[in-house]
Amino acid sequence: MDLSTHLTLAAKLLDSCGLSRRAAIFALLPEIDVEPAHFHRMFGNILMYQTRLLDAGIEVFRHPEVAQRDFAALRKRLAPVIQELKEEHDRVVSEAGPTSFEAQDTFNRHYCYSRLAEELPGFFAELEKVRPVLGEEILQPSTDRTEGAVALVSHTYFVTYTFPPMPFIPFSPMAAQRIAFADRIDYFEFKGLFWDAERVAELRRRLMEHPLLWTRTPDFSAEKDPVILGRIRAADGTPYAPQGLVKAMIERLGELAPGIDYDAVQKGIRWYLGYLGCVRVVHSDRERYFLEHLDRHLEETLISLMDEASR
């Protein structure tokens, strides 16, 4: 999936939660892993690593050089921080060993900061591409952790349409994949859609204007539990809870991973929600119905566009 489409989907999800589109840039952050090549589509889509990626993004976006688009000055400012992180990693490796959790964590911190400093000019170039449609606000990144999490997890959630990520490493190596959707289409022709400027622009237009995709009143008629029904009805029509949407996306990623141990999904949820400061139970029933609704209409939109191209 191309980056402009990721930004469009993230912006609309943020709208659905009543959050700022300024956080849409976080949907691009997983793309730092284009280097080294064997990290690509792996590192940035691992839920456990995304918390470090969020930390790095929030810290970097606070610097005035970002608002000024002075990326050379930003790299200069970040250079001693990146060097300090490297030295910390080297020290931990010498003390605890290269396979320790601490060694992996310090590597992740160094990797996220150093790669973000390198890729940020390209990310802002992507923002400029969609600015006429998504608005000026996207050019000034949010530093809100919850907003950032919604957009960041959305990258992994929607990339499942074009590539099966492995978000639950190290808890599980199972890949999240849309097998039923891939069975309905010419998969290689579908992936080519995102390299066709005219067709992908039409796709983004439909995503923005679709009358049903982004509803705040999803169909929950299948729900039988009276307690859950009461919660959903009480919130019907209101913005979705961002923590609930993050949880629902992770749950759905687990459902897309055949054979995954349920405990691995729960560990991923607990890790992420703990990072977001959630100390109480987060209900995600309404958000799950929304995602099911969104997936159905998104798939039909994609298939319709494919069918039109083949005529």
Q: Which residues contact 63 (CB under 8 A, 6 or more apart)?
A: 74, 77, 78
Amino acid at 117: A
Residue 110 CB coordination number (10 Å): 22
Q: For the full predicted model, state whether its pTM sits above 0.85.
A: yes
Q: Is 66 a domain residue?
A: no
CA angle 212, 243, 210 (to 5 degrees): 15
Total residues belonging to the chain? 311
Q: Is 105 a domain residue?
A: no
Q: Is 12 a domain residue?
A: yes
Its domain, for residue 152, covers: 3-31+123-310
Q: CA 113 to CA 106: how far, in whole Å?
A: 11
pLDDT digits (tens, 9 = 90+) for 98-133: 999 999 999 999 999 999 999 999 999 999 999 999
Give 103-121 as a DSSP string: HHHHHHHHHHHHHHHHHHH
Q: Is 190 a domain residue?
A: yes
Tokens (6 digits) for 248: 């629902």
pLDDT digits (tens, 9 = 90+) for 197-206: 999 999 999 9
Q: Which residues contact 28 (CB under 8 A, 6 or more apart)?
A: 3, 6, 7, 123, 126, 155
Q: Is 295 a domain residue?
A: yes
Lowest-pLDDT choice from 106-120, 186-200, 249-263 = 186-200
Q: Is 83 a domain residue?
A: no
Q: Is 43 a domain residue?
A: no
Q: How many folded domains does the chain comprise?
A: 1
Q: Is 140 a domain residue?
A: yes
Amino acid at 177: Q
